[in-house]
Amino acid sequence: MAVHSDSASSGKKSSNGPNELLTFNAENMQNNMKIIYYSRTFLSIIGGVVAGILGFTGLKGFVFYLLLMGLTSLGLVAKAGFSTHTYFDSWNRVLLDGFLGGLMSFVLFWTFAYDIVHIF
Amino acid sequence: MAEDLVLDTAIRDWVLIPLSVVMVLIGVLRYFVSKLMNSSQTPDTKIVKEGQVVVRARNLRVGANFIPSKAFRARKIYYCNEENGLLFVPKGQGQNPQAQMFSDPNMAMDMMKKNLSMIIPQTLTFAWVNFFFSGFVAAKIPFPLTQRFRSMLQNGIDLSTVDVSYVSSRSWYFLNLFGLRGFFSLILGEENAVDDTQRMMQMGGFGFDPSKGLSAEKDNLDITQHDWALPNFEQRAEAVLRKVIS
């Protein structure tokens, strides 16, 4: 995915030494946040289509969405080399950022695929 | 009691897909129209000056630990001094930017244009959906909802025994409205994605930002403590050099 190729590699903030000096390059941080957002949105759309085709209903679908978000977070953390503190300023950002927006897209495409495949 | 309704394939061909396609196209159209209609407004010098002062103060706050404490205190007084400090705005003057913004014809026109360009396509599409696509079951949402949602989701369908999962096309319109935001941000690239609900939330706090920004920045600067980083720099240099060598 082209989005991932230039992702966390450009997110430089000065690493903190033993005395916790934290400085952030705001532009790089914004770039990283944008990349998280794109990845989440893209995966929610794909995940929605997959869930619809596989015929998940009700709770199973939402569990699938949560799994998907967890997978996204894991992937992002792995790409950041497991040292998220050099690329983001807090854990919550990388874990929870595009969650709700992704949920709406997921539900839309889930409904769409489910209807096309199963009802009609 | 989940009886499975069998829905006509024609509904899928002529309702679901055209509605989604129309909404995507309208979103793209709106994006391009807004790019064309974006009159370049010459920014007000006073507002730009205040913005830059806030940025300088913020930089001072962020980099406070890298300059000697006397220098930091001198700069802090320069900003926060009660009489002629840059960030100090007496209460009376604070209202001016907002009043100026509304009386300035250009800016008012721009805000109105932005509002209109958001509201009109939504209203038109909604009216179109209501006129053409009402009175039948359009889609089935894959998760069950309680009975209270029935009136919201099924407003064209007057049977009360139909499962709440079977929704009318109006709810398909709303679902599209919210769900396509993420899609737009992918295909239109960057922040220009038509994120109208977010912009509507931003419209509320627009005019009042400059005066509050100044006093907020002043308060932030007042409470910043100075903790000079130089004594510990040797350890940092050692750590970095170790990483480089090893």
What pTM value is reported for the model? 0.71
Quote the CA–CA distance of A119 and B5 in Å, as a whole number: 8
Chain segment B100-115, per-residue pLDDT in tens: 555 566 666 667 777 7
The residue of chain B nearest to residue A37, with distances taken between CA atoms, is: B182
Provide the pLDDT for residue B85: 60
pLDDT at B122 exceeding the cut of 70: yes
Across the interface, which of B65, B186, B229 has its CB nearest the CB of A42? B186
Residue B241 has pLDDT above 60, yes or no: yes
Q: Residue B216 above 50 pLDDT?
A: yes
B201 in contact with A at a CB cutoff of 8 Å?
Answer: no
Q: Which of A78-87, B22-31, B178-187 has the lowest mean pLDDT?
A: A78-87
CA distance A119 to chain B (A): 6
Q: Show the CA angle centred on residue A42, arms to residues A106 and B17, nearest 5°.
A: 55
Q: How many residues does chain B have?
A: 246
- Residue B2: CA atoms inside 13 Å, Cβ hemisphere, count? 10
Q: Higher model confidence: residue A56 or residue B21?
A: B21
Q: pLDDT per residue over A86-99, tens digit each?
A: 666 666 666 676 67
Q: Which of the two residues, A2 and B133, has the higher pLDDT score?
A: B133
Distant-in-sequence, close-in-space partners of A100: CB < 8 Å, separation ≥ 6: none
| DSSP codes joined into one string, B92-138 | TGGGHHHHHHHH-HHHHHHHHHHHHHHHHHHHHHHHHHHHHS-SS--
8 A C-beta contact, residue A84 and residue A24: no
Which residues in chain A are closer than 8 Å to B240, comparing Cβ atoms? Answer: 17
Place of tokens 């010098």: B45
| Mean pLDDT across B227-242 | 80
